[in-house]
C-alpha cells in the first residue's frame, strides 16, 4: 500500500471511477432477447455449437455504454468446468465508461431488453418488417425517423417482457447499498492520496 501511494496515487491528478459494470443474472434463456435504445447501436452475435445465439454485444467496446448478453451457464462450463444446476443462467452486463459512470442509476432510461414476438402484428408486412429489423440490424439506418419510431413502438408493444424494468427495480432496491460501496472505495482512494 505504501509503494502504491508513493509511486502511483501521489502522481494522480484526477481521481474517480472511469468504468463501472452492472451485472444481472436471469434463470431464463435470453438467446431470443433484443436490446433496443434511442440511439443506433452495433449488434454482434456469437452462436454456440447448437446454432443458437450464445453471446450478444450491443454497442462498441469503447463507447460510454456497452451491453453484453451471454449464456453464463455455458461460459462457466467452458472456462471453469463449473456445472450450474439451474436449466438456464444468462447474464446481462452493462459496462459504463466516462460520463455514464456518474449516471449509473439512470443508465436504463433509453434502453429496452425485449423478447419481441414478430408474429404478433396482424399485418403480414409489419411482421416481415419487424423480423427484418430484429435480425438485420443495419436496416434501421435505411429508415426515416418516422418509420423508425413506428417500428420501435411496435417492437415494444409485441414484447411481453422488458428486462430493463426488472433491472431498474433491482437497481432502485439496491441503490443505497451500491452508492455506499462506491463512496467507500472513493474514500479509500482519497485516503491514500
For residues 65 and 114, what is the distance between their CA atoms, to the nearest angstrom? 18
Distance of CA 135 to the CA centre of its chain: 18
For residues 65 and 137, what is the distance between their CA atoms, to the nearest angstrom? 18
pLDDT at position 167 over 50:
yes
Handedness of CA 59, 47, 89, 29 (dihedral sign): positive
CA contacts within 13 A on the Cβ side of 73: 15
Q: What is the 3-state secondary structure (H, E, C) of 79-148?
A: HHCCCCCCCCCEEEEEEEEHHHHHHHHHCCCCEEEECCCCCCCCCHHHHHHHHHHHHCHHHHHHCCHHHH
pLDDT at position 72 over 90:
yes
Q: What percent of the chain has pLDDT over 90?
A: 34
pLDDT at position 26 over 80:
yes
pLDDT at position 8 over 80:
no
Q: Residue 142's pLDDT is what?
A: 92
Q: Residue 102's pLDDT is what?
A: 75
53-71 burial code (b ≥16 CB/10 A, e <16) = bbbbbbbeeebebbbbbbb
Q: Residue 118's pLDDT is what?
A: 93
* The Cα angle at residue 125 between residues 121 and 130, in degrees rounded to 5: 60
Mean per-residue pLDDT, 25-42: 87
CA contacts within 13 A on the Cβ side of 53: 17
Q: Residue 192's pLDDT is what?
A: 46
**Residue pLDDT, tens place only, 89-141:** 999 999 988 877 777 777 778 889 999 999 999 999 999 999 999 888 788 88
Residues in the chain: 193
**Residue pLDDT, tens place only, 56-69:** 998 888 888 889 99
Residue 63's nearest CA partner among 99, 11, 10 is 99
Reported confidence tier of residue 14, pLDDT bands at 50, 70, 90? low
Say if residues 96 and 19 touch (Cβ distance below 8 Å).
Answer: yes
Handedness of CA 74, 80, 83, 89 (dihedral sign): negative
Amino acid at each position: 500500500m505504501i509503494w502504491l501511494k508513493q509511486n502511483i496515487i501521489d502522481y494522480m491528478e484526477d481521481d474517480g471511477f472511469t468504468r463501472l459494470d452492472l451485472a444481472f443474472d436471469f434463470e431464463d434463456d435470453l438467446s431470443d432477447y433484443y436490446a433496443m435504445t434511442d440511439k443506433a447501436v452495433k449488434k454482434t452475435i456469437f452462436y454456440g455449437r447448437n446454432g443458437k445465439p450464445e453471446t450478444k454485444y450491443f454497442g462498441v467496446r469503447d463507447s460510454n455504454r456497452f451491453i453484453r448478453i451471454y449464456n453464463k451457464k455455458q461460459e462457466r462450463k467452458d472456462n471453469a468446468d463449473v456445472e450450474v444446476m439451474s436449466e438456464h443462467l444468462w447474464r446481462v452486463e452493462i459496462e459504463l465508461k466516462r460520463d455514464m459512470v456518474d449516471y449509473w442509476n439512470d443508465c436504463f432510461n433509453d434502453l429496452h431488453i425485449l423478447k419481441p414476438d414478430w408474429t404478433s402484428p396482424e399485418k403480414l408486412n409489419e411482421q416481415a418488417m419487424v423480423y427484418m429489423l430484429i435480425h438485420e440490424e443495419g436496416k434501421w439506418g435505411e429508415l426515416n425517423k418516422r418509420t423508425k419510431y413506428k417500428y420501435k413502438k411496435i417492437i415494444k408493444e409485441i414484447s411481453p417482457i422488458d428486462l430493463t424494468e426488472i433491472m431498474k427495480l433491482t437497481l432502485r432496491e439496491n441503490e443505497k447499498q451500491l452508492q455506499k460501496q462506491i463512496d467507500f472505495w472513493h474514500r479509500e482512494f482519497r485516503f491514500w492520496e
